[in-house]
Amino acid sequence: MSAQSPCMSCGACCAYFRVSFYWGECQSAGGTVPDSQVIAVSPHLVAMIGTDRKPARCANLLGDVGSEVRCTMYEQRSSTCREFASSWENGVHNPDCDKARAAHGLPPLPRPFEPELTPVVA
């Protein structure tokens, strides 16, 4: 993968999925996510503000999806955000990444070039 993550020019997942997680990740419970950035969706789950409705867009996403984006609370983001990988990150396809990108008219991320292995002749 290139030095810059494809996520820095995408942001589709932040503007498509509900980003919900256990309320214990909030600062008031000892976690990192600011309480002011979430809304309760069940007795045990919260969601990032803006992702609790359709069309979704996290209130902390700045920029234009598919062009240049950034998260205003990146260091404090939830486990849901930390664990969401772009397609082909670490060599693994993520169909949810493709789905979010498609919803914004973006093509799937291309599979990185993998050179063919040449057999060693002894």
User: Using CA atoms, how far apart are residues 69 and 43, in angstroms rounded to an integer?
Assistant: 32
Cα gap 42→28, rounded to integer Å: 17
Could you list the pLDDT tens digit for every one of the 122 residues in the chain? Answer: 345 789 989 999 999 999 999 999 999 999 999 999 999 999 999 999 999 999 999 999 999 999 999 999 999 999 999 999 999 998 999 999 999 999 999 999 999 876 666 666 66
Buried/exposed 73-109: b ≥16 CB within 10 Å, e otherwise: beebbbebbeebbbbbbeeeebeebbebbebeebeeb
Half-sphere exposure at residue 40, Cβ-oriented, CA atoms within 13 angstroms = 4
